Chain A
Amino acid sequence: MKRTPLYDTHVALGARMVEFAGWSMPVHYPSGIQQEHIAVRSDVGLFDVSHMGEIRVLGEDATKFLQFATLNDPGRLKLGRGQYNMLPNDRGGLIDDLYVYREKENEYLVVANAANVEPVLTQLRGLASDYACHVVDESSTWALMALQGPGSALLLGRVVDVDLTELRKNATVLTAVSGCPVKLSRTGYTGEDGFELFCHPTDAPIVWDVLGDEGALPCGLGARDTLRLEAGFPLYGHELTDSTNPLCTAFTWVVKDKPFYGRDAMWGRSCPRRLVGLKLEARGIARQGYRVFFEGRPVGEVSSGTLSPLTRESIAFAWVETPAGQEGTAIEVEIRGQRVAATVVSPPFFGQ
């Protein structure tokens, strides 16, 4: 199993380590998922996401290439900015969802999910052969941490030499933490203000300790999952897969009107099912794979579900037949043979 540069730090902190996409990762620390979740909503939490993949795309045609290979348009990015993006296959589905940062006019850093680094590389390299650009796997040369929560700017401002009020969402800046060079990005996966910090692997424990000493609570993948779900963000392998069409989700905005790989297959498909949010009206937790019923018949299934640590409501994403997916529709989720009442809602599941 692969270890991030922060493995020893996690073990020393008493984390429960689990296997995730071939990596040994902290699922939670002794504080527990709920406390970690609340820390990010109310103050500040710190995540190790070094398992994610970094892929550099550079060369004369890099912009043109990524405009074709991905659904969003990296050509619209100002230098130093990042965007949420998706990598389509040729069947109207997705190979992965991505974050794409434009570092130079024709140089990008693509961040991919840990489980999908290989398929993403294969796809990008395959398509890049027609373009004047290179695809370089830099996954092992970067450590990545996420500092998330309403208190993150204040905390980070104490340890970096840049004015963070000037750093807009999705913008990046090069700085240093305790002498360690850090590429700082105002991005995250929690629905809160926050930052992601790219640094050299050997510097990661130093940066982590500085942020921890300033008061950021270490948070594991468990809280990362409940936070993203509560915020209404999809997770590849759950909401998004190689057979799910992003045009049948609330993330249609990612798909820009331009030529892209697999475009005809994607636009040619109808939406028999749509991705919707659910809120349970009674006790119980809707888990991935549980069936959803509308007017007594099965119409789909849950893709992710949890008890919101913040609202204590039982929330979920589900793929349901389009007529059952209207906001406000009364449906049911089958939990261990019992049908539990639920309502179709529009994420995010908090702060509305």
Chain B
Amino acid sequence: MDIRDNLRYATSHEWATEPDGGLVTVGISDYAQDQLGDVVYVELPEPGRKVAAGDAVAVVESVKTASDIYAPVSGTVEAVNEALVDTPEKINESPYGDGWLFRLRVEDASELRTLLDPDAYRRAAAEED
């Protein structure tokens, strides 16, 4: 299970970067993509949408199932990964890279601290497995 040390994680398996110029990038973890299997369809939020932490903002569908993706922190959708519309398999191939989902402009960076650190997420994922 590939868990990156430079990211924070939600219990619902999204990852978020530390804010960079107020922007947080969000995706799903390697564990999550492995659980889902082949991703074949992605529904992304409209840029400009204001979201609260815990809101269902995107949908990732594998062959077998549809999964809601929740905003790990509050903010405004600044950008979405349009490339996923035609190549959703990037989420499987590169969950922490080309498979990113969207970027949020955050107002309260301290919200990130409510997320799991890599060790806590590793334990959470191991428990689920």
Contact = CB atoms under 8 A, between A and B. Distances in A.
Question: Do they bind each other?
Answer: yes
A34 B38 contact: yes
A5 to B, nearest CB: 25
Interface in B73-88: 85
A59 interface: no
Contact of A32 (B38, B41, B61, B66): B38
Nearest to B61: A285
A33 B41 contact: no
20 contacts: A16-B37, A28-B37, A32-B37, A32-B38, A32-B92, A33-B38, A33-B64, A34-B40, A222-B63, A283-B85, A284-B41, A284-B43, A285-B40, A285-B61, A285-B66, A287-B66, A307-B41, A309-B40, A309-B63, A336-B59
Interface in B21-36: none
Nearest to B41: A285
Given A16-B37, A222-B64, A336-B59, 14 more contacts: A28-B37, A32-B37, A32-B38, A33-B37, A34-B40, A34-B63, A222-B63, A225-B64, A283-B85, A284-B43, A285-B61, A285-B66, A307-B41, A309-B40
Contacts of A222: 37, 63-64
Contacts of B59: 336
Interface in A145-180: none
Give the most central of B37, B40, B63, B66: most A CB within 10 Å.
Answer: B63
A226 interface: yes
Contacts of B43: 284, 336
A306 interface: yes
A184 interface: no
A226 B41 contact: no
A27 interface: yes
Contacts of B40: 34, 285, 307, 309
A143 to B, nearest CB: 25
Leading 7 A-B pairs by shortest Cβ distance: A33-B63, A32-B38, A307-B40, A34-B38, A33-B38, A285-B61, A285-B41
Interface residues of B, number: 13
Contacts of A309: 40, 63
Interface residues of A, number: 17
A226 B66 contact: no
A151 to B, nearest CB: 22
Contacts of A307: 40-41, 61, 63
A133 B37 CA distance: 47
A122 B61 CA distance: 39
Nearest to A18: B64
Interface string B72-114: 0000000000000100000010000000000000000000000
Contact of A226 (B63, B85, B92): B63
Interface string A283-320: 11101000000000000000000110100000000000
A202 B63 CA distance: 33
Interface in A1-51: 16, 27-28, 32-34
Interface in A275-289: 283-285, 287
A27 B37 contact: yes
Nearest to B62: A33
Contacts of B62: 33
A33 B41 CA distance: 14
Contacts of A28: 37-38
A285 B41 CA distance: 8
A226 B38 CA distance: 13
Nearest to B92: A32
A225 B62 CA distance: 13
Nearest to B34: A16
Contacts of B64: 27, 33, 222, 225
Contacts of B85: 283
A332 B94 CA distance: 34
A342 to B, nearest CB: 15
A97 B40 CA distance: 30
A28 B38 CA distance: 10
Contacts of B66: 285, 287
A27 B59 CA distance: 21
B90 to A, nearest CB: 14
A284 B41 CA distance: 7
Nearest to B65: A287
A61 B42 CA distance: 56
Contacts of A285: 40-41, 61, 66
